[in-house]
Structure 1
Amino acid sequence: MQIEYTAEQAAIQPRLASANINPDTFLATDYLNHFNEIVMLLEMVPDMPELAEDAAEWAPKSYNQHFMDSGFQAKELAVQAYNLAPMEIRSVFERICAELDQLIQSTLAGMAAVNVAERGFTPKAQELIRMRVEAIQALLMKLNQVIHGKLEDAVELVEEPTEESAQTQEDIDKLFD
């Protein structure tokens, strides 16, 4: 995909690479840390159900909010670059982020519905959590592709939710009950 940058975008590009921000996409991989933290917890939850409480504290964060709350050295530049990111990149990025947020939140809600303090997770629930972690990791790979300018690869992998997948989601959530 060939992107035509505006004068304002072109003016900021030389400063991006040295700040670990992709000068083509205007995005930084540091944002993935927001999701990587919850993935690490969720990976451990099936075997250590007491971590479900810690995982429940996770909440979605916008790209800009992540950087403003982080110790990222060039956080102001990261926010400025994101706000100037080409819309064809940013729209795919935001769609994947929304899908990630929804998947993580539904997983956390399902886990919260189970009283793990008394009995832990059933084997089916443990397997479901592991499957959800794999799905989250697949979305993180797509997000990483977008950040690195491999938009075509990421777009091919992003599927619009269907009625069938919504039904499957509902069925999966019932496993936690």
Structure 2
Amino acid sequence: MMSTAVSAVADPRSPVDPSQFREGMSRLAAAVSIVTTRTAEGCFGFTATAICSVTDTPPTLLVCLNRAASVFPMFETAERLCVNTLSAGQGELAALFGGRTPMAERFAGGGWTTLLTGAPVLDEAAVSFDGWIADRRSIGTHDVLFCEIAAMRWSDAPSGLAYFRRAMRPLTDG
């Protein structure tokens, strides 16, 4: 196994180069999810991998959203969202929500319902976390949305979908 080291800058408090950071982050596997909301203007969604648990009391997730994303204005005022974590066979749907595809076409690519908040819940998701946006923080180029989870639904999907080294990859049990 070969490894590549990146030199640190002279000032230990200075951040690494953004391109080096992105390269390193490409090696941090992450679940692929479609994050959705419903506002007075309709349903909106995007593909995300920057999601993690914050606490179980109260059950809270964080979702990172680039302020340059086409959906940012819709999520900037949203009060609710659903994190729909994808199964291995849903890579095409992730790609659909990850591009500049019109919203109506994105949502035509799957079956949708709702749970408690009214945000769109993907029928075939491995797990869906439906919640209210409790807080927002702006950090660098992104907003971090803290979401208190009000309802959940999961399936018996035998495999998940991960993003690793800039590609979607199936996760299996064995």
Report the TM-score when normalising by structure 2: 0.23
Normalising by structure 1, what TM-score? 0.23
| Greater RCO, CA 8 A, separation 6+ | 1
Larger Rg: 1
Is the helix fraction higher in 1 or 2? Answer: 1
